[in-house]
Amino acid sequence: MSGKSSVLVVIDVQNGFLTEHSQPVVPIIVDLVQRWQAAGHDTAFTRYLNFPGSPYERLIGWTQLCESPATDIVDDLIPHATKATAVIDKTIYTLFNEEGAALVKERGWTDLYICGIDTNSCVLKTAVDAFERDLTPWIVTDASASHSGPEVHDAGILLATKFIGRRQLVTQAQIPITP
């Protein structure tokens, strides 16, 4: 499964998304990223940046993640983000903004192993966008969480089974990470 055409995409593991519900997934993501990078594979991190007048603010009243330290990647992942193939800043749910889409194409990534916060929005949207681009998305379920709680995470997982297929949901133990 993992190889030169694979990438581990770490979605929005930022201070502003940490709650009692999402914090426990951080050490799991750190472990996965360490093993993935140690095997020599590409990693891409995303960082969500909100802005005044954004659709998030205007339509759903969400005004968070506008500035540091909320927008910063969590401390435990900073050393790994500095070694990443890329850190993509985005103002939308998905990795697939102009920069992210170009990077996926340029690097020839076909399999995207997706983890992070929030399962129900940015993780799910990235997976669906990969699916619709004829790529192969894999959601790493035990390395993803929702800051809103386990029910919302579970809802994201349920929707993912309908959008991208049940077989595309994996745990980190199911990913053979080999050099």
Q: What is the pLDDT of residues 64-75, one digit of tens each?
A: 999 999 999 999
Instruction: Identify the CA nearest to 30 among candidates 6, 8, 54.
Output: 8
Give pLDDT, residue 4: 75
Backbone angles phi, psi at 87, to 5 degrees: -120, 115
Instruction: Give pTM, 2 decimals.
Output: 0.97
Query: Is-contact 26 76, C-beta < 8 A?
Result: yes
Give pLDDT, residue 178: 87
Q: What's the rounded Cα separation, in Å, for the pair 132 and 1?
A: 20
At position 21, the amino acid (one-letter code) is: H
CA triplet 104, 105, 106: central angle to 5 degrees? 95
Q: Taking the domains of the chain in order of start, what are their residue ranges?
A: 6-174
Other Cβ atoms within 10 Å of 21 Cβ, number: 19
Under-70 pLDDT residues of the chain: 1-3
Give pLDDT, residue 104: 98
CA triplet 152, 154, 156: central angle to 5 degrees? 70
- Express as a percent the part of the chain with pLDDT over 90: 96
End-to-end CA distance of the chain: 11
Per the CATH hierarchy, to which homologous superfamily does domain 6-174 belong? Isochorismatase-like (3.40.50.850)
Name the 3-class secondary structure at 85.
coil
**Helix H or strand E encompassing 78:** helix 78-82
Give pLDDT, residue 93: 98
Give pLDDT, residue 2: 55
Q: What is the dihedral of CA 31, 3, 153, 117, to 10 degrees?
A: 60
Q: How many residues does the chain have?
A: 179
Give pLDDT, residue 3: 62
Backbone angles phi, psi at 70, to 5 degrees: -60, -35
The strand pair at 86-90 and 169-170 is best described as unpaired
